[in-house]
Structure 1
Amino acid sequence: MSTPKNAANTAREAIPDAANPLGLDGIEFIEYTTSKPQALGQVLEMMGFRPVARHRSREVLLYRQGSINVIVNAHVPALPDGAAPTDNPVIAAIALRVRDAAAAYGRALERGAWAVPPRVEVMELNIPAIHGVGKSRLYFVDRYDKFSIYDVDFVPIPTVDQRPPAVAGLHFFGVVQYIGNDRSEDWAEFYRELFGFAELPAEQRFGILPKGRILSSPGPASSRFYIQLIEPEASVLDVEDDEGLQRIGLGAADVLKTVAELAKRGVEFVESRGVHTEDRGALTKTWLGSVSFELVHDRRG
């Protein structure tokens, strides 16, 4: 077969990368559900986020700092099974950036993913999603460059900077996922087979909480993120029902500087014999019974 002269600029066939079967390009947003959105909003603002837009028809707010988008969903029902949000905030969804959302969704279903039935109202985008850990969802988003999903579903809050700067260059680093006993291999296979994640060697660790398995997403290095799978202590009985997304990891080029900046805002960090702030990372205290953030040294920001 001959090669056209301008082959570099011609893409008539969307042939997926074998190492990145769904075309992942990082995280677009992370969504919390809660029945106390104002309380969670106060925590997010203390962490440097600002509310920038409201959903057109639901009780949903978009918070942002730098390239990080966090959605606070207090709409009833907020979860795929029709359940209402609880007082303790829950990480209910991760939106994954992909080249083509419909194609990525179709390939995920072909590889064994379970579809989340859409509940789209008038004038809303249909964002395809599959089931993740627990009751969480994994969305596929391909509108994140010049025209984004927020341009359709959200209304900007007047007089608010739509691109508030990040505190000390904070950016998405990854998420921590709690899993049941002896479930590490099951979940590693889930992310490997569906998305092309690769497990990092045991000696390659980040931050100050290196327990469990760490999986690296495929895609460009600039948008790569990590999922840390953590099983319960050996002495704990089966806790499969407690599987879920536990906390967000934020990358910081200078952890100690970032901790100092956040401390000025009132953020407190865990300081104990086993867990304490250092140049590799830091862990915030837990708010509202379930919300904490982990800082990890990462120069990409």
Structure 2
Amino acid sequence: MKTSIATVSTSGELPEKLEAIARAGFDGVEVFENDFLAFDGSPADVGRMVRDHGLEITLFQPFRDFEGMPEPLRSRTFDRAERKFDVMQQLATELILVCSNVSSAALGGIDRAAADFHELGERAAKRGLKVGYEALAWGKHINDHRDAWEIVRRADHPNVGLILDSFHTLSRKVDINSIRSIPKEKLFMVQLADAPLIDMDLLYWSRHFRNMPGEGDLPVAAFAAAVADTGYDGYFSLEIFNDQFRGGSTRSIATDGHRSLIYLADQVRRARAVPDLSIQPMPPRAIVNGIAFVEFSADEEEAADLVRMLETLGFQKEAVHRSKDVSLYRQGDIRLIINTDRHGFAGSSFAIHGTSAYALALVVDDATNALERAVALDAEPFCQPVVPGEVEIPAIRGVGGGVIYLIDDKSNLGRFSEIDFLPVEDETEVVSAHLLHIDHVAQTVAYDEMPTWLLFYTAIFEAQKTPMVDIIDPAGVVRSQVVENASGLLRITLNGAENRRTLAGHFMAETFGSGVQHLAFHTDDIFATAASLRQNGFKPLAISPNYYDDLEARFGLDTQLSDRLKAENILYDRDEHGEYFQLYSPTFGEGFFFEIVQRRGYAGYGAANAIFRIAAQKKHLRPDGMPKA
């Protein structure tokens, strides 16, 4: 697959855009006219700059309000076209995009439009240029690619072809099977964009809410597969209009774009009966069978505080590392590692973020394949020196620059704790709290980073994203989406913070970036767990008694159950699948916390309870973020 992206898709000035696009690995770039006009250099300068980055200018765009104009407007459109052709020749690009007319002066008629394009094709041919026609979803007379194709067909000129845009086709729910009958030589360019499903004006939706394939809800993969079935072997190019992207990181947006196209190509390759050999194969998405461990970075003083909290939760030290200042704590299938070593990446992470859950290890079906796929999708591999004889675990960089280790049962990876750690006898008197496994990991990110990490997880791992929900914080709204797999063995909640007054925003501001803000542990009996926690000296997050009065009325709970919930500070929710119980620790440090949950068929994450939990947690924070004594 040959990849391209329109300069309008990224933030920044033109030189910055081109540098990021090239670094991300694209083959070509569409030059959007406004980006060119805002640049001080000549068209020839722009062309040289593009080629110096190893890119090809795949398209110059857009040329608006051309076909079907009455005189004297018609003559002026051809004059304008000649001026655009002048620029294109200096840029050294051969294709221009003409989008369907939206002018109130435009006249309808397929034959009239075809005649205009035939003449434009004649003029373009004299200069060795080509014209691509695209149906805008809001075009006055032409808003369907099938009508645009009929105009191109009747124009009957080798220098006039069709440009398809997934947004324009999918937003109007045009049958994508119609694409398969278009001759591949008449497809001059294919543009791709996804979008969340929102019921609004098409133009406004397009101009503000497009995103990368895989980040929205449109069937872009099915669209691309239909294109591939024509035999099309040209560029697949991203054309994204998005308010968040315009203010985001130029480099991150470009990287996301390239990742989205590589992932899309893999989807198309797997969907077709005859695989497209032009698409580089990669291993399938990795199946996640659980979380092997979560690793914290800390110094000795804060590690001691963290250990005391873990002990109240029923964790005991099981082992210490052979060569590093690292301890392993365990309960049920939950492994928590505390790393106070100052010489490795954990030490660097602590220096920047303070005590944090900087790494997690996923149990996958094949760690080697998972790493290969991740790297093919532009993930950054991670490695650091290990002592001979110790296990070197494949890993990639994740949210906030943290680490995701990839572990399977092959070779020695599944035995890393036996090989790298020495068992110890923990003499601390701790009562097990009946915690069985990690239910979910909650990562807090900047809101504009959420599409990045949703795409990252769903492209690499066999998982899907849930619809976005609003988490109400007394100081604002936090947007939340979940990446989960069908087995429930992978659940990662992504919470997007927009202001630092929210608990999530405070956590990000005080820890200097995105990261894991809380871990949720699963129990089969929340009340038995609460009783054991009391024996260990655990002090739960205190929930307002008003919450329980409303809870009883809202769900019609038995008074005895309501009283038990209130006595233990357990929150409750219910959906059509079942019940959910939640018990929280107070905050640790700058807003990190632990959660204990019991699911009885419940599919969600207790979003309705978030406002009460957050209000209670904020009472445990001083203005500087440190926990109260």
Q: TM-score range by the shorter chain?
A: 0.7 to 0.9
Q: Does the C-alpha gap of structure 1 residues 217 and 114 become closer, same or farther in structure 2, counting only changes over 3 Å? A: same
CA apart distance, 1:89: 2.1
Residue of structure 1 equivalent to 2:586: 285
Q: Take 2:341 and 2:299, find their aligned partners in 1: how far apart are those partners?
A: 8
2:542 aligned partner, one-letter code: E
Does 1:231 pair with 2:484? no
AA aligned to 1:249 is A
Aligned residue type for 2:440: G
Tell me, in whole angstroms, the C-alpha distance in 2 between the residues paired with 1:165 and 1:107: 42
1:143 deviates by: 3.7
Residue ranges of structure 2 left out of the alignment (5+ in a row): 1-280, 472-476, 548-568, 573-580, 602-629
Residue 24 and residue 212 in structure 1: after superposition, are their counterparts in 2 closer, same or farther (change >3 A)? same
Give the number of equivalent residue pairs.
275
Change (3 A) 1:155 1:235: closer
Decide whether aligned partners of structure 1 residues 215 and 183 sit closer, same or farther in structure 2, where only a CA change above 3 A counts.
same
| Partner Cα distance (2:413, 2:357) in 1 | 27
**Under a length normalisation based on structure 2, what TM-score does the superposition of the two structures give?**
0.39
Query: Which stretch of structure 1 is more off in the superposition, 248-257 or 134-143?
Result: 248-257
Question: More deviation in 55-64 or 95-104?
Answer: 95-104
Q: CA deviation at 1:218?
A: 2.9
Aligned twin of 1:46: 312
Shift of 1:291: 4.2
AA of the residue aligned to 1:228:
T
Q: Is 172-181 or 81-90 further displaced after alignment?
A: 81-90
Letter in 2 for 1:149: F
- Aligned partner of 2:596 in structure 1 is 295
Equivalent residue for 1:111? 377
Cross-structure match for 2:419: 152
8 A Cα contact 1:251 1:297, kept in partner: yes
Sort the Cα spacing of 1:225 and 1:268 in 2 relative to 1 into closer, same or farther, 3 A: farther
Deviation of the 1:72 alpha carbon: 0.6
Aligned twin of 1:197: 463
Quick one: percent identity of the two aligned structures? 26
Residue pair 2:482, 2:493 contacting (<8 A) in 1 also: yes
RMSD of equivalent CA atoms: 3.5
Aligned equivalents of 1:230, 1:16: Cα separation in 2: 30
**Structure 2 residue aligned with 1:271:** 542
Q: Among residues 10, 26, 51, which one is paired with 2:290 in the alignment?
A: 26
| 8 Å CA contact 1:78, 1:84 repeated in 2 | no
- 1:220-265 deviation line (CA, Å, top 9, x unaligned): x2x6131111122557599685211111111122333322321221
Q: Which sits farther off after the overlay, 92-101 or 254-263?
A: 254-263
How far off is 1:212 after superposition? 3.7
Letter in 1 for 2:322: R
**How far apart are the structure 2 equivalents of 1:211 and 1:256?**
30
Residue in 2 aligned with 1:9? none
- Secondary structure, in 3 states, of the residue corresponding to 1:30? strand
In 1: Cα distance, 2:287 partner to 2:519 partner = 22
SS of aligned partner of 2:497: coil
Q: Is the 8 A contact 2:295 2:336 kept in 1?
A: yes
Quick check: 1:175–1:247 contact (8 Å CA) kept in 2? yes
CA contact (8 A) 2:318 2:426 kept: no
Residues 136 and 122 of structure 1, relative CA distance in 2, 3 Å threshold: same
CA-to-aligned-CA distance 1:53-96 (integer Å, 9 cap, x gap): 11000000111011110111011134268455579421010001
Letter in 2 for 1:43: M
Q: What residue number does 1:215 align with?
A: 482
- Radius of gyration: which is bigger? 2
> Is structure 2 residue 486 aligned with structure 1 residue 185?
no
- Measured in 1, the distance between the counterparts of 2:375 and 2:446 equals 24
- Cα 1:55/1:126, change in 2 over 3 Å: same
- From 364, 367, 371, the equivalent of 1:98 is 364
Q: Whose relative contact order is higher, 1 or 2, with alpha carbons under 8 Å and at least 6 apart?
A: 1
Equivalent pair of 1:65/1:166 in contact (CA under 8 Å): yes
**1:64 aligned partner:** 330
Q: In 2, Cα distance between the equivalents of 1:16 and 1:296?
A: 37
Considering fraction of residues, name the structure with more helix: 2
- The offset of 1:105, in angstroms, is 1.0
2:518 to 247, 260, 284: 247
- For residues 111-134 of structure 1, the C-alpha deviation after alignment (integer angstroms, 9 at most, x for no partner) is 221111332122211111100111
TM-score computed with the length of structure 1 as normaliser: 0.78
